[in-house]
Structure 1
Amino acid sequence: MRILDRYILSRFLFNLISSFVIMMFIFIFQSIWLFIDDLAGKGLDMIIIGKFFFYKMPELTEKVLPLTVLLSSILTFGNFAEHYEFAAMKASGISLQRAMLGIIIFMVGLGGVTFYFANNVIPASEQKIFYLRRNIAKLKPAIAIAEGVFSDFESADMNIKVDRKYGENDNFLENVIIHQKTKTNINYRVIKAKTGELKSSENSNIIQLVLNDGQLYENVEGTKSEKRKYPFAQADFEDYTMNIDLSEFNNVDLEEEKDLRTEKMKNISRLTKDIDSIQEDNIRRVTSFSKITSERMGAFIPLPEQDTTLNKKRQFKNGTTHLDFDIFKDSIVNIYPEWQQVQVMNSAKNSTTNVLTSVRGKKKEMNKRYEFHRRHILSLHKKFALAFSCIILFFVGAPLGAIIRKGGLGLPMVIAIILFLIYYFLGVFAENYSKKGNIHPMLGAWLSTLVMLPLGVILTKRATADKGLMSFGRVIDFFKGLLPKKKDKRTTS
């Protein structure tokens, strides 16, 4: 390797490592604010909290690394241009592409390392975080309940308030109030108890809440005339046991938690296998449901062929005789007597209502399954997109630094943050749209990278040709041509 290549690569690595460390600290502190309610004031050891953020670092690398590559490339080549080092290189016959060659080889290697990281390290860290949070909740069940405020448990459709927690693991409660809700978020039961105790098992996701010396109030559905009186049932108890599901605290969707592995916890081989199996299962469910619905409605039943020209006259139960079937083209109900027509219409209406209700319920279920399938496709392509994004963002930052000719943490930092925000928010919007099925998941994973690709090509061409970031000369000349020219009033003598 030439001395110049070593010099350029060493400067780039210095900026890359220093930028990565600074950005990682910033994102870690941002994560602390997100999880401070779950970790602060819960009596956890600093070792456990340190493990949590250590396992969180690989996930943050997915956000930090593209920004680091963009910022370090702008800083490196901006410093070269600001101190006229590029001018000296070009005077010696070294082009921009030749100066970037050593770093390009390094970035290709970094892309391979990033792909391995996304395929192996990040899924393993996601599993560690999941099990750690679950074990924290089992070790200290009261961690999911705060003092003095109502703590929501959406998976159990309830919220809990306690005045005080005490005991070695804060598992003893004082003055407990529980509101249980219906699926429509309406309170139907209130439980009050003077004391309570939380119990858990290491082999279960269920917290057992034992209440002592309390009362239970529950709404009772009465007749129409009694509804205005708001009847309710009241009961006193000495001991009352409830079970609380921990899945809400784990913050994991139940549909994705069958074997405690979400799409973020899987590598490419597992994702590819699960994508095929999930798709086959969705097709099987839709086919089975459509077949059952068709049989239930009596639709698409094969009928024997009949020659209608042989028997045009027909005697019906109501005693009427018709020469042809044209009278039935408006309504088939006309073939029944009048006293049966109302029954037929009501039966058809009820059957249609039942089928529509079944279809709506199945639609919600299938939408969740389709979203689960799209999440797997998105996660698969994001592993490839992350590796390529580092290479493409380098080709955006390096020529941009050569064009703006500024080093340091001033203007390069501002430009890098603006470009990264564009890249990041495009990725977030595309990811959300793809999860809902508005765009294909593959496009959702690659959209932000594909947007940056033409920008990198344009900036590289302009930096190679020693052009500025923007050329307003042609635009100004165009508008000047639109203005009327002033006549020369000077006369020759």
Structure 2
Amino acid sequence: MKILDKYILASFLKTFFTVFIILMFIFVLQTIWLYIGELAGKDLDVEIILKFLLYFSPKLVPLVLPLTILLTSIMTFGSFAENYEFAAMKSSGISLQRAMSGLTIFIFLVSLTAFFFSNNVIPAAEFKSINLRRNIAKLKPAMAISEDIFNEVGDINIKVDEKSGDNDQYLTDIIIHKKSARSGNYTVMKATEGELVGSTDSDVLSLVLKDGNYYDEIQPNDAAKRRNKPYAKSYFEEYVINIDLSEFNNVDMEDENYHSTQGMLNTSELRESIDSFSTTYNEQVKVFRESMFNRTGAATLNLNYRPADIDTTSKIGESVLDLYDAQQASQIAGFATSSAEAALSHMNLKKEEFKTSFRQINKFEIALHEKYALAAACFVLFFVGAPLGAIIRKGGMGLPMVIAILLFLTYHFIGIFAKNSAEDGSVSPFIATWLPTAIMLPLGIFLTYRATTDQGLFAFDNLFEPFKRLLKKAGIIKTKDKID
């Protein structure tokens, strides 16, 4: 390796690692801010919190690495141009492509590393982080109670309108169905407010209900009396329910039973899952199609039709129902209406099921292509940043930082919008994943060409030249007389 290549590589690496560490630190802080509600107030050891951040950090690399490469390229080559180092290289016969050749090999290796990292390290970290988050959530029983829906906690089903307090311990408008040895929920409690009292050191959580009513449906042995649905009702100012939390407090932080998201899989596992889901989806569609065809009765139409039983002669404009008497026609119309309504309800239900299955397949396809797109993005963004830095001739953290962030936000937001559209099938997962890189590729080619030919970012003179010629031909602009 020549001295020039060593110098360029050393300058690039110094800036690369500095920018990477700074950006990773910023994104980790943003992660802490995002998940502070899950970590605070649970008496977690420092080791568990550090594990959480360690497992979550690899998922930040697909965001941090492309931005680092783009920003480092702009800063490094902008600094070379600003300090006239490129002018010295060109005067020595060294072109921009030659100056970029050594770094091109390095970026290619970084792209390969990024692929293997996203294919192996990120799935393992996703697996660890999600399981750790589920285990941490068990340390706070209030997290198991969501607002406006029934939640199973211990031996009760509880619904609350609102939670409040530092640890969501205060509840309002509570409805509770108590489980019993009998099949069904026969005991209902309602309270205007309540409070969860307990700690992770105890296996018992006390739910203190205030200002409520207790309803208990009585089940007499006599069937005739049971039809009257007798019940007992009582009012209470305060009522305490003790819930066994042994399954909450005995939490194994190393438990790793959850492994069902696409982020936990590598490329071979994703392909296998996509094939499996696609086969199941196609089979379900086939069964549904056959079921709907059988519902129409078209397959047995000839078996049920007996022309000798009815007079098939009808006049023009008459309905088929006119061949039957009023009672039969009414029965046929009612049966047809109910069959159509049942078929429509069944179709709407299956439509939602198929939509969910199709969305799941798309998510797995997006996760598969993202691993390859990350490697390509690192390579393409280098060829956007390096010539752009040579053109703007500005190093440091000022203008290069602004330009890099604007370009990366454009790249990132295009990817987000495209992937969201791909989940419901509006866009192909392949196109959605590769669209940001495909947009940046022509920009990289354009900038590389402009920087190689010593042209500015935009040649405004070339844009106005056709108008000048037109004005000269019209005589509006006069040309200077040539001096003999």
TM-score normalised by structure 1 residue count: 0.78
Judge conservation of contact 1:24–1:64 (CA < 8 Å) in 2: yes
Q: CA offsets, 1:191-222, max 9 Å, x none?
A: 4576656799xxxxxx997646664578x9xx
Name the CA distance, whole Å, in 2 between partners of 1:438 and 1:208: 50
Residue identity opposite 2:147 in structure 1: D
Gaps spanning 5+ residues in structure 1: where? 146-150, 182-187, 201-206, 221-231, 247-256
Residue 395 (structure 1) shift: 0.4
CA, structure 1 residues 267+91, in 2 after alignment: closer, same or farther (shift >3 Å)? same
Check if 1:361 corresponds to 2:356.
no
Name the CA distance, whole Å, in 1 between partners of 2:198 and 2:348: 39
Residue identity opposite 2:346 in structure 1: S
Residue 405 (structure 1) shift: 0.8
Farther off after superposition, 95-104 or 330-339: 330-339
Judge conservation of contact 1:38–1:143 (CA < 8 Å) in 2: no
Check if 1:478 corresponds to 2:466.
yes
Judge conservation of contact 1:328–1:335 (CA < 8 Å) in 2: no
Q: 1:93 matched to which residue of 2?
A: 93
Name the CA distance, whole Å, in 2 between partners of 1:487 and 1:440: 53
Residue 452 (structure 1) shift: 0.3
Q: 2:74 matched to which residue of 1?
A: 74
- Alignment match of 1:455 (pick from 436, 443, 448): 443
Judge conservation of contact 1:176–1:196 (CA < 8 Å) in 2: no
Residue 478 (structure 1) shift: 2.3
Name the CA distance, whole Å, in 2 between partners of 1:42 and 1:266: 30
Residue 481 (structure 1) shift: 3.3
Partner SS for 2:35: helix
Q: 2:185 matched to which residue of 1?
A: none
Q: 1:178 matched to which residue of 2?
A: 174
Q: 1:159 matched to which residue of 2?
A: 160
Q: CA offsets, 1:9-38, max 9 Å, x none?
A: 010111111111111111112222221222
Partner SS for 1:159: strand
Partner SS for 1:67: helix
TM-score normalised by structure 2 residue count: 0.80
Residue 236 (structure 1) shift: 5.5
Q: 1:11 matched to which residue of 2?
A: 11
Judge conservation of contact 1:385–1:445 (CA < 8 Å) in 2: yes
Q: 1:249 matched to which residue of 2?
A: none
Name the CA distance, whole Å, in 2 between partners of 1:327 and 1:198: 81
Check if 1:413 corresponds to 2:401.
yes
Q: CA offsets, 1:78-115, max 9 Å, x none?
A: 11111111111111111111111111001111011000
Residue identity opposite 1:340 in structure 2: Q
CA, structure 1 residues 162+388, in 2 after alignment: closer, same or farther (shift >3 Å)? closer
Amino-acid identity (%)? 43
CA, structure 1 residues 339+264, in 2 after alignment: closer, same or farther (shift >3 Å)? same
Residue 425 (structure 1) shift: 0.4
- Alignment match of 2:333 (pick from 332, 341, 345): 345
What value does the CA root-mean-square deviation take over the aligned residues?
A: 3.7
CA, structure 1 residues 403+301, in 2 after alignment: closer, same or farther (shift >3 Å)? farther
Partner SS for 2:138: helix
CA, structure 1 residues 283+240, in 2 after alignment: closer, same or farther (shift >3 Å)? farther
CA, structure 1 residues 366+153, in 2 after alignment: closer, same or farther (shift >3 Å)? same
Name the CA distance, whole Å, in 2 between partners of 1:357 and 1:106: 59
CA, structure 1 residues 180+465, in 2 after alignment: closer, same or farther (shift >3 Å)? farther
Name the CA distance, whole Å, in 1 between partners of 2:174 and 2:117: 45
Name the CA distance, whole Å, in 1 between partners of 2:269 and 2:417: 26
CA, structure 1 residues 197+292, in 2 after alignment: closer, same or farther (shift >3 Å)? farther
Number of aligned residue pairs: 435
Name the CA distance, whole Å, in 2 between partners of 1:379 and 1:440: 13
Gaps spanning 5+ residues in structure 2: where? 152-157, 178-187, 218-230, 248-255
CA, structure 1 residues 293+159, in 2 after alignment: closer, same or farther (shift >3 Å)? same
CA, structure 1 residues 389+241, in 2 after alignment: closer, same or farther (shift >3 Å)? same
Check if 1:104 corresponds to 2:101.
no
CA, structure 1 residues 346+45, in 2 after alignment: closer, same or farther (shift >3 Å)? same
Judge conservation of contact 2:387–2:447 (CA < 8 Å) in 1: yes
Q: 1:267 matched to which residue of 2?
A: 266
Check if 1:277 corresponds to 2:273.
no
Q: CA offsets, 1:225-255, max 9 Å, x none?
A: xxxxxxx9955686768899x9xxxxxxxxx
Partner SS for 1:139: coil
- Alignment match of 1:374 (pick from 362, 383, 392): 362
Residue 285 (structure 1) shift: 1.1
Name the CA distance, whole Å, in 1 between partners of 2:173 and 2:43: 23
Residue identity opposite 2:115 in structure 1: F
CA, structure 1 residues 357+211, in 2 after alignment: closer, same or farther (shift >3 Å)? same
